[in-house]
Structure formats: C-alpha cells, structure tokens
A and B are shown apart, each in its own frame.
Chain A
C-alpha cells in the first residue's frame, strides 16, 4: 500500500522564479493538505483540496496556489519566489468519511525548497 509520495525531494530556485511541487495521496485517500515548515519551526497550514477545489486556506499570500486532479493528486505552485519561501513543503492526505473529518492525516516525506 503506497503511502504519500512527493516530488521532487529537493529543489533549488532563485528569487523571482516559479516552482511546482507534486503530491500523490495515500491509496484510497481523497483529500490533500499542504504545509510549509521553516527550519526549526512546526509545519504551517497552507491550504487543503477536496473534490478538486480549495476548501480551506491558511495565512499565505496569493503567490501560493494549488490544484487537485481527478485522481486526487495535487500540485502546489509558488510564484515570484522569495528567500523566505525556503522551507520543507509537506503534503498530507486523508479520507472523508461520512459527514465528519476527524481522521488522521498521513504526511509525505516533503520537498526541500531552497531559494537563492
């Protein structure tokens, strides 16, 4: 049973560039959340996708956008990169069950983005 996978594992970009990160959820999961984790900090929620729509968003600027595909995989796009965007970007998947979503989220290994 494949867990959450993310690509690439590492990425180096320069300021002003754009980046796309990819996530495949755990088999059977339909909901994808993205988090940013700066060095020495806990992960910060960026947004969540369900049924190909952004359902909830954290305190991140519009430079951060995403997409979910019919197969539930997801992309995170960041435009006009800043030095401060350097971080570990984590994808987490979960499954909607009935009307309540208290299920645990399964995290991928993350993509380490370095902005120079």
Chain B
C-alpha cells in the first residue's frame, strides 16, 4: 500500500501557482519524498525529490515540513500542459544489492486540472 495520502483532485487557474499537498505521516528517516506526474496516455515523468530540505528545479519546488510528515509540490506558474495526475511517493534510498532498490509504490495521486 502507498504510504502517502493526496487529495483526489484539484483545480488551478492558468498562470497561477498550483500547490499540491501530500501527507506521509509514517515516513522513516531514510525515506525520500518523490513527485512524479502522468499526463494522459503517457508514462509517468519524474519531477523532483527531497529528503528534508526544500528543493527547487526548473519544473517545480518541493517544500517539506520540518517534521517531514507532509510536503507540498509547487508549480509556480501553471499552464494547460500541466494538467495531469500527480503522484507523491516515499522511497528508501536503497544500498546496492538490497531489496529496497528502485521500487516505487504509487497511490491514486491528485488529478490537477489547469483551467484557462
């Protein structure tokens, strides 16, 4: 089962910031928070990941609370092309040869609809 909880759907006006919340209250100290998105009929696309510090890249920003029990993905200026299902995933950084390497556990995600 997924270890994260996300709202099933959200709307955002084009050009405005989209803030997508995620709860991961049982996250362990060695688990990272990952965000992926899936545009209709395509494979999931990596967005960003973080451990405990806030992260920013060309796509988005990731804000992780101090207790690490929740996070927010921020798309600063949403466009119509950002309409997608957004998945928040917690994942262990596995050591070579361990059983925790690579497995992503997807939940239902949040369907973000960006409207003109």
Contact = CB atoms under 8 A, between A and B. Distances in A.
Interface stretch (A12-20, A67-75, A78-86, A106-114): A106-114
User: Which among B2, B32, B102 has the highest number of chain A CB atoms within 10 Å?
Assistant: B102
A56 B99 contact: yes
Contact of B44 (A43, A50, A101): A43
Interface residues of B, number: 27
Interface residues of A, number: 30
Nearest to A91: B43
Contacts, number: 77
A101 B101 contact: yes
Contacts of B105: 45
B49 A42 contact: no
A111 to B, nearest CB: 10
6 contacts: A42-B106, A48-B101, A56-B101, A92-B104, A107-B45, A109-B42
Interface of B: 2, 32, 34, 42-46, 49, 85, 87, 91, 93-96, 99-109
Interface of A: 4, 31, 33, 35, 41-45, 48, 50, 55-56, 58, 90, 92, 94, 96, 98-102, 104-110
